[in-house]
Structures are given as C-alpha cells and as structure tokens.
Structure 1
Amino acid sequence: MQAKPASRPGAPARPSGDGAAAISFALVKGAPDACGPGCDSWIAAEGKIDNSAAARFRKFMKQIGDRKLPIYFNSPGGNLEQALAIGNILREKKASVRVGRTTLQECGLEPQEGEACTRLKQSGRELHGDVWTRGAICNSACPYLILGASSREIAPDVTLAVHSPRVILNFTGGVPSRELRAQAMQRAMERSDKMVLGYMARLGADPGLLTVARSVPFEGMRILTREEIARFALDRRDRVESSWMFEAAARGIVYKTILSRQDGETSFRTMRLQLVCFDQDRFELDVERNAPTGLGGAGLVLASGNAKLNFLWPPRRSGDRETWGVFLNAGQIRALAAAPLVEFGDAGANAARPKLGPFPVASDGLQSALKRLADTCPPSKAVAQPPGAAVPRTQGSSPQAAAQPAP
C-alpha cells in the first residue's frame, strides 16, 4: 500500500469561507483620497485563495504594468502554497499591501459577494467603488502573503486570524491503517511547516507567527492582537489611524479608530471617535478612550486652528474606558473637516488655560464622510437660546456636553 499525501494547508475554518468565490483581482477607481491622501485607485483582491490564484495574480500584475497602486486584500484564506507564491510576487513587485473590502458601484443593488458582482470583479474591467476597513478580514493563509509586501498597513478595525493548516491525504492501494495515516499526516504537517519557515526565513520574518497558528486546531481561529501584528512585523507602526468613514446603519454615523503606544510601552491604547447628527445644524462628537491615570479632575480639549472646544466634565465611565461628548454646529463641523488635523489634549480642571497634549488626529476622509452623513440628517430646527446655552438633547442620545469655547 502506497501513501501519497497531498497537502492543502490554510483553507478557511469558517463555514462561510468554504463557499467563498475564488479570489479575484480588480482595478478600482474611487473618489479623490478614497484610499488615502492623494490616492484614488487601488487593486481589490477579494475571495478565497484557490489552486490557481498565484498564476492569475501574476497575469493581472503584468496587465497593469508599472502602476504603483495599493492592494487591498479581503480573504478568508485558502491554499497555503498559493498564498506563499503570491507573497513572493508581492516581494518582487515591492508592493504596498493593506486589508480592506471593496464595494463596487457597478454592482448596484446586487449583493457584493453575489454571483453577478463576482463576475464583475473577475471581468478585468476598471471598476468604480469605495474601500472599507471595518469588517475586512485576512485569515488563515492570508497573513502569510501579507508578509511578502514591502509596505504593510493593517488598519485598526480589520481582523487578522490564523490556525493550523488543513491537510488532505490521498492513499492508493487500499485502506490505510490508523498508524500509517498518522505517520502520513505527520510528514505532511512537517512539509507544510518547512515550507512556511523557509518562506519566513527568506523574508526575515518572525517564525513566531507559525507557532501561534499551529497552537490552534484547523477547526478554530485565533484573532491576532495588535501587539502580535506588530511583533510579527505584519505592521510595525506604533500609531495606526483609520480614515474617517461613513456607515449607513440604523442611524448614520461617521467614525474613526486610532491605536497607539508610546516608546517603551508594549500595549496599544485605543481611541474611537464617532460623529452623529440630530439635524443639519446639530452634531455630536463622542470620543471613547482608555481612562488616563494621574490626571485627577482632568478634562478633554479639542483644538482646530485658532478654535478650542472643551468637552464638558465628567465623562461616562465603564471599567477602564471613558467616553466624552461635545456638540458642534454646522460651521464648526465644516471648520473641523477643512483642517488637515485637529488636536486632543488633557486639561487640568483648575488650569487658567488648558494645556494641549501632542495628540494630532488627521482629517483625511472627513469631508466626504460628512457629506454622506449630512444627506441623512433631517432639516435644521430653529431653537431660540441665550448665548452660551447648551444645545438641547434629543431623546435617546448620550448625556454628554455642548460645545463650549475653551477659556
């Protein structure tokens, strides 16, 4: 009896992954700055890494020529050998890689993952759309291919996850014994590990990523922490900031996520910003962050150009997190969007003037996100108020603060 193990490591563990379409590569054009400052075009790589993915990717890259475009992967994983081959192509091309999901305008009301939209993605046409990070995934074999890129940017609101490879064994000459099957499985896993370790050695990558993956059965999935993403060099940045994005949920929101750590710190801190509207002239900005220590009675200040606004103290607290809120009118919102960045800082409650900390927040994406938010806002309601009065709250909104000039 002859055993012929045929490995197919890295297929996705989630049920939705097994039915995913084969990975497609499409050239997409969006609005100005859709993929970052000065970037309006990108390559969308969407779907499961199948047995011919690397050949199709090489052909696609040859077709687009010397254009240096970021590549956004959104994949549940798939064939490990093909993922490593794609990683080698990325290295050859000195590519810039990110994780994000692309929505195409040409799909209209069709589901983005439906058959009609998938055919569009595989058509080779230049398409039009938007790219999003929240909800995007790069799982199973996908993180390995990311390592091949010269530039790797992993947004703070995407998911990277790993697990042990899946190995399929084919035997000829009869039914193998349990012992023979176990031996064949062990050899196949050793071959898979050797292949990945050789790839990582050529890239100078940390083999700890494979150690983490092998600690999780194929049926499970281990989501990588931000600390692991940095340690395994998937993205070494100590500050990671998403663009401002609009989401049409039950209530339209504009949001942004920032992860950061200071020199010498091992853990990242998370700041989430969320903007909602009550009408065309009344907006609320909420800031959720780790509660700072040693700042008894401190408040939060926002500065944009010559304008400074105080978030009214105290914030809402939940465990080691705190949420601050401030009201803004339409003019203040427009000024916020027009500034290249704003600053947040802590201020002592009894200070004559607040001392801003060096915490700049970029405004990229804010103008287009605000335009989409404004389209969902009801008309303004004129409300007579004395100067300096707090903007009245809408029922159900969070009890936070009105916009107040900083002293």
Structure 2
Amino acid sequence: MHGWVFALIALSVLAIPAPAGAAQPDKEAMVFSIVRNAAPACEPNCPEWIFAEGKIVGNSPSGLKRILKQAGKRRLPILINSPGGDVDAAIAMGRMIRAKGLDTAVSLTRFKGCKPRDPDCKLLPQNQGVYSGNAYSGGAFCVSACPLMLAGGIERLASQWSYVGVHQVTTVYREAKVTYQTRYRIVNGKKKILDRTVASRGPTKTRTTTKLSKAMRNKLVGYFGEMGIRTATLDAMLSTPASEMRQLPENELLQLKLITRSGTVDMLVASAICRNEVPADNCRATMSVQTIPGPANSPKP
C-alpha cells in the first residue's frame, strides 16, 4: 500500500582534497614539445628530445600522452625544468615515462627561432611538429613534486649545475556546503527514495595541511619502491617545511637513487651520440629543421 510522498532537506559538507598546484593558470602549466639539436655540425643525423617545462598540473599527464603519441616508438629522453605542482599528476607521468622505457634529465632548452609558448610561432610542414634548439644543464631545476616525475626515467641525470629540491607535500582541501532535497515514499512502512537533487550550494572554502595522510604516505612509499628509489627520499621531504626547499646534492641524489648517474644533459642529446657506430635511439636522420619566426623574432630595422 502506497503512502504520501515526502521531501527531506539535508545539508552536507564536502571536503575534496586537491594537491597544491592542481589549479594553476594555463600560462604556467607544463608545456611539452619535441626538439631537435640545432648544433651547426649536427645534420643530417641529429638527436631529438622531449621538452617538458612548467608547473605540473592536473592535466599535465594528458599533455605528456599527446607528445609521446607524436614520438611514436622512438625512445626520446625527457628534459625537465619544473617548480613542481600536482603530486598525483607527477606520479602518473613518472609511470608513463617508465612504461615507455625513457630517460630523464634536469635540463633547460634554448630554442632556435620561435618557442612552443610563443603564439606567433609557426613550424613549417617539413618540421613535422619538431622545434629546433640546444639543451644545457646550467640553471635548470626540478623541485617540489618534480622529482617524482624525474624518478620515472630508466637513466636519470642531474649535474652540479642543476638544482633538485624537495619539501613537505601540501594538500589543499576545498570544502563546499551543499544542500540536498530528497523525495521519498513510504512503501509498506519502508522508505523508498524517489530522487535526490541539489537544492543550493554555499561558498567554497579552502584549507591546507602539510600533515601527510596514511593514504598519501602509502602512495609515495609504494611509488618509490616501484621506481627503485630509496624510501629515505620521503624522510628528506618530510623534514623540510613546505615554505622552504631542501637542495639534494649530487652525492645524496645518487644515494637515494633519484639519479642513476651524475652528468650534464650532453650525455643524452649531444650531436656526437649520433656519430657513433651505433647511433643512440633518439637520433633521427632527416633534412634540416627550419622554423618560421614570429614577429617577436623578426629582425629589428
């Protein structure tokens, strides 16, 4: 026997964790592109690499996935320069890099002609989406969540001229007050839900904490084990306040296995690696790569 239809108003407070840096402006987000060594004596067989620079945000793994698809089956090293950001995104990219068997290095890229972030930059069709530039270690940095991405490489490089640093993980909780209206019917003495709709939403508030949850600790420890990184890396992170940065010198990076060897990025992308009897995997013989500079690159009268 069916009874009346009732409506119930209930207030819920939703706390949704979001790693720091997950909502950075697009202009600061990590950019990816394939770059070919622009050394004058390089052609016709030159090394290429994947340029990865900027803050790690929630959709950064999607950007990496697209550039890996462009690279195809070629094993291009990933040269990283980043202030960190989203922990989950960094871990996801580290796993993508390891699954592809790629190498990583802390490095800057100086572009010849226009740059990926330049809206006026247009590549010629024969470039096939590949930019031209030179890589160098001096002044490059990989800090905060970035070392988690770096850890994905098979070979992992950093030098005394680059900077690798860690600190505590900051988690941002976004809390929203949501009022729901639930309609139900009493059927044979039991409540039967008919539907549930949002009646109103209150202002969203945020709070931050550096206290590491058990779930996050387990995630990081599991990831370090998966990548062959010493779990003492977590101790180095937790011992440094989020407002500070602990630089990890070469000897400590090697001890923690965050890098497999110390050296400059030339070890991965110098033109000489393509003149060996067996060229490196990231070498590609082609015609010279050219770019059409944008107005910002046009010569001044």
In the aligned structure 2, how far is the partner of 1:164 from the partner of 1:103? Answer: 31
Structure 1 vs Structure 2 CA RMSD: 3.5
State the Cα distance separating 1:28 from its structure 2 match.
0.8
The residue that corresponds to 2:155 in the other structure is: 151
Amino acid at match of 2:257: A
Structure 2, unpaired ranges of 5+: 1-11, 179-205, 268-301
Question: Does the Cα contact within 8 Å between 1:28 and 1:127 map onto a contact in 2?
Answer: yes
Question: Does the Cα contact within 8 Å between 1:10 and 1:166 map onto a contact in 2?
Answer: no
The residue that corresponds to 1:285 in the other structure is: none
Is 1:240 matched with 2:244? no
The residue that corresponds to 1:60 in the other structure is: 67
The equivalent position to 1:21 in structure 2, one of 16, 20, 28, is 28
State the Cα distance separating 1:145 from its structure 2 match.
1.3
Distance 1:92 1:54, change over 3 A: same
In the aligned structure 2, how far is the partner of 1:141 from the partner of 1:34? Answer: 37
Distance 1:106 1:47, change over 3 A: same
**TM-score, length basis structure 1:** 0.48
In the aligned structure 2, how far is the partner of 1:146 from the partner of 1:32? Answer: 26
The residue that corresponds to 2:17 in the other structure is: 6
The residue that corresponds to 1:224 in the other structure is: 248
- Structure 2 residue matching 1:130: 3-state secondary structure: strand
In the aligned structure 2, how far is the partner of 1:61 from the partner of 1:114? Answer: 19
In the aligned structure 2, how far is the partner of 1:33 from the partner of 1:126? Answer: 17
Amino acid at match of 1:143: P
In the aligned structure 2, how far is the partner of 1:117 from the partner of 1:229? Answer: 39
1:317-336 matched pairs, under 5 angstroms: none
The residue that corresponds to 1:105 in the other structure is: 112
Is 1:126 matched with 2:149? no
- Structure 2 residue matching 1:84: 3-state secondary structure: helix
- Structure 2 residue matching 1:2: 3-state secondary structure: strand
In the aligned structure 2, how far is the partner of 1:131 from the partner of 1:9? Answer: 29
The residue that corresponds to 1:90 in the other structure is: 97
- Structure 1 residue matching 2:113: 3-state secondary structure: helix
In the aligned structure 1, how far is the partner of 2:111 from the partner of 2:129? Answer: 12
In the aligned structure 1, how far is the partner of 2:37 from the partner of 2:84? Answer: 26
**TM-score, length basis structure 2:** 0.64
Question: Greater shift after overlay, 192-201 or 44-53?
Answer: 192-201
Distance 1:33 1:240, change over 3 A: farther
Deviations 1:197-248 (A, max 9, x none): 12112223211111111111222111111121101112243x636759xxxx
1:249-260 matched pairs, under 5 angstroms: none
The residue that corresponds to 2:168 in the other structure is: 164
State the Cα distance separating 1:80 from its structure 2 match.
0.6
In the aligned structure 2, how far is the partner of 1:234 from the partner of 1:186? Answer: 23
Deviations 1:291-317 (A, max 9, x none): xxxxxxxxxxxxxxxxxxxxxxxxxxx
In the aligned structure 2, how far is the partner of 1:33 from the partner of 1:152? Answer: 27
1:176-255 matched pairs, under 5 angstroms: 185=209, 189-237=213-261, 240=263
Deviations 1:163-216 (A, max 9, x none): 111211122349xxxxxx99x958763332222112112223211111111111
Question: Does the Cα contact within 8 Å between 1:9 and 1:192 map onto a contact in 2?
Answer: no
Amino acid at match of 1:40: P
Q: What is the percentage of aligned positions where both structures have the same residue?
A: 27
The equivalent position to 2:78 in structure 1, one of 71, 74, 82, is 71
- Structure 2 residue matching 1:235: 3-state secondary structure: coil
In the aligned structure 1, how far is the partner of 2:247 from the partner of 2:225? Answer: 23
In the aligned structure 2, how far is the partner of 1:34 from the partner of 1:164? Answer: 45
More strand per residue: 1 or 2? 2
- Structure 1 residue matching 2:229: 3-state secondary structure: coil
The structure with higher relative contact order (CA 8 Å, sep 6+) is 2
The residue that corresponds to 2:200 in the other structure is: none
In the aligned structure 1, how far is the partner of 2:122 from the partner of 2:220? Answer: 32
- Structure 2 residue matching 1:106: 3-state secondary structure: coil
